[in-house]
Amino acid sequence: MIQIVYISSALSPWSTEQLLELLQQCMKNNSARGVTGMLLCGEDTFLQALEGDDLVIDELVEKIARDPRHAKVQFLHRRPIERRQYADWSMGFKRISERELTGIKGLKDFGAKDFNFDYLVRNEGIVDVLMDHYRAPHWDPLVRELDAKDKVIEHLKQALLQARGSVEIATLVLESIADAGKAGTLSERHMRLCESALADLRGGT
């Protein structure tokens, strides 16, 4: 099993509808292929970790690198792993904002504007802090202690992680509809995308 982390740059800022479409694609494909990971997205920058079987991941990143929806794909590492770090997510997702970054331990003088290709490529320490922060909720030490003893906590943790993923998708659905409302149109395609995202949410994925 391997893990690959890369940074890439979108040609222009992505709409919420585009993000929603990408995430739907990631979740569907990745669960079918045993791929897990995390996608952090700034104004026009992606930072993604992908993990799974060597061949599957190598093939996938080749596809991703050729994807015309972004450019300048820069791989930061490709390393063998024994355990998944993002086991709970077919593709965890977080949109980076100023508010989101507040209070992340280990980040000093780093703002949402710094979440860009040039800065991140030169500051791998920051990439590590971000990926580590979003890997899992930062449980209170007491809960960690209990966690070791009590399986119930494990179930709770899983439920919370899933809920966190669902909230991100639900937020994107709402934001994309609000954007479409402002623009005065909700296309057929967008409607179908929302319906499929809602069906996933209702199914609890």
Ligand X SMILES: Cc1cc2nc3c(=O)[nH]c(=O)nc-3n(C[C@H](O)[C@H](O)[C@H](O)COP(=O)(O)O)c2cc1C
Which stretches of the chain bind ligand X, using CB under 6 A?
Answer: 8, 22, 25-26, 29-30, 37, 46, 48, 50, 60, 63-64, 67, 69-70, 91
Q: Least distance (Å) from ligand X to the CB of residue 117?
A: 12
Structure tokens at 133: 């922060």
Element (H, E) at 151: helix 151-183
Which of 124, 110, 94 has its CA nearest to residue 5? 124
CB of 134 vs ligand X, minimal distance in Å: 15
CA atoms within 13 Å, Cβ hemisphere of 173: 18
Which residue, 46 or 115, is less far from ligand X as judged by CB? 46
CB of 173 to ligand X, least distance (A): 19
Whose Cβ is closer to ligand X: residue 89's or residue 194's? 89
At closest approach, how far in Å is the CB of 60 from ligand X? 6
Phi-psi group of 170: left, alpha or beta (phi > 0 → left; psi -120 to 50 → alpha; rest → beta):
alpha
Amino acid at 185: T
Residue 28 CB, nearest distance to ligand X (Å)? 8
Q: In what order do the strands lie in the sheet with 92-95?
A: 70-80, 2-10, 45-52, 36-41, 92-95
Token match 């820069």: residue?
Answer: 74
CB 164 within 8 A of CB 86: no
Encoding tokens for residue 130? 């971000």
Hey, which residues does 47 pair with through a beta bridge?
A: 7, 40
The residue assigned the tokens 């970054």 is 101
Q: Smallest distance from the beta carbon of 70 to ligand X, in angstroms?
A: 4
Q: Which is nearer to ligand X, 22 or 193 (CB)?
A: 22
